[in-house]
Amino acid sequence: MPDRKAPGWRWQDEAAGGGMMDENHLTRRVVGFHDIRFDGLSDLLMRARGASIIDIGMNRGHVAYEFAVNGARLVHGCDIYAAGVMAARHWFAELPHIESKFEVVNLAEPGALTKAFGSEGYDITLFIGVYHKLSRILDSKGLSDLVRDIGRRSLTYCGAMVHPEHLKTIDADMAAEGLKRIHTSELAYPGRPAVIWKRK
């Protein structure tokens, strides 16, 4: 079978000189194991019952699933990785009592979240390990517009795992949308603190 670009082929793969990520070439797509992605953010799970959640850059939906089993009533998510989005749809097919929607979204495109999810707000928004990837391809205005869009959608909390050098900029964009950083944890993957903002 000849090599072909997988559904959801990503700019990161192109930059790395390849890296098929379809059903025939499965690889791990995130740093660390999925549990590590919760280090410093697990308090948000205590607030999942009855809440609406969106996981932006959700990979295969592992984190979204944790919110579902902790009582979230609505779980949305997106990623540029089409096979991962399909995996999340399969997982959530077993949870018909939870309103779920997972879409393939290229966050580098202006208004991408609105095209996929409208202007909907969520009790908890998540963007774990996403910002530093987008900082390689988006200019400062594009990044700011995206973070402010995420901030507007955050009805109560927003959780992220980011590189420390990006925190000041993200804090400013979140503050412009009425959110204040209330939690910073170094428990997360080394050099990537977990951060939670709350609507003021």
pLDDT digits (tens, 9 = 90+) for 169-189: 999 999 999 999 999 998 877
* Residue tagged 């927003």 (tokens): 158
% of the chain with per-residue pLDDT over 90: 75
Rg (CA), the chain: 16
CA distance 112 to 103: 10
Q: Give me the CATH number covering residue 183.
A: 3.40.50.150
Is residue 24 predicted with pLDDT exceeding 60? no
- For the chain, how many structural domains are there in total? 1
Report if residue 8 sits inside a domain: no
User: What is the average per-residue pLDDT within 155-165?
Assistant: 96
> What pLDDT is attached to residue 92?
96
Report if residue 3 sits inside a domain: no
Q: Model confidence at 39, in pLDDT bands (50, 70, 90)?
A: confident
Collapsing DSSP states into helix, strand and coil, what is residue 195?
A: strand
Tokens of 150: 């995420």
**Bridge partners of residue 185, in order along the sequence:** 194
Is residue 198 predicted with pLDDT exceeding 90? yes
User: What is the average per-residue pLDDT within 132-158?
Assistant: 97
List, in order, residues 6 or more apart from 56 with CB less than 8 Å away: 77, 78, 107, 113, 125, 126, 127, 130, 150
Exposure on the CB side of residue 8, measured as CA atoms within 13 A: 21
> What pLDDT is attached to residue 187?
83
Q: At what angle do helices 82-93 and 62-69 cross, to 10 degrees?
A: 20
Q: Beginning with the edge strand found earlier in the chain, give each strand of the sheet holding 154-161 in spatial order.
A: 99-104, 74-79, 52-56, 122-128, 154-161, 194-199, 179-185
CB 25 within 8 A of CB 6: yes
Q: Which domain covers residue 67, as residue numbers?
A: 32-199
Report if residue 21 sits inside a domain: no
> What pLDDT is attached to residue 162?
93
Tokens of 200: 């003021």
Sign, CA dihedral 157-47-191-128, equals negative
Report if residue 48 sits inside a domain: yes
Is residue 150 predicted with pLDDT exceeding 50? yes
Is residue 17 predicted with pLDDT exceeding 80? no
Report if residue 96 sits inside a domain: yes
Report if residue 14 sits inside a domain: no
Q: Model confidence at 191, in pLDDT bands (50, 70, 90)?
A: confident
Report if residue 25 sits inside a domain: no
User: What is the average per-residue pLDDT within 57-79?
Assistant: 95
> What pLDDT is attached to residue 36?
55
Is residue 167 predicted with pLDDT exceeding 80? yes
% of the chain with per-residue pLDDT over 70: 81
CB 6 within 8 A of CB 29: no
**Mean pLDDT, rounded, of the chain:** 86
The model's pTM is 0.83
Report if residue 76 sits inside a domain: yes
Sign, CA dihedral 22-27-33-37, equals negative
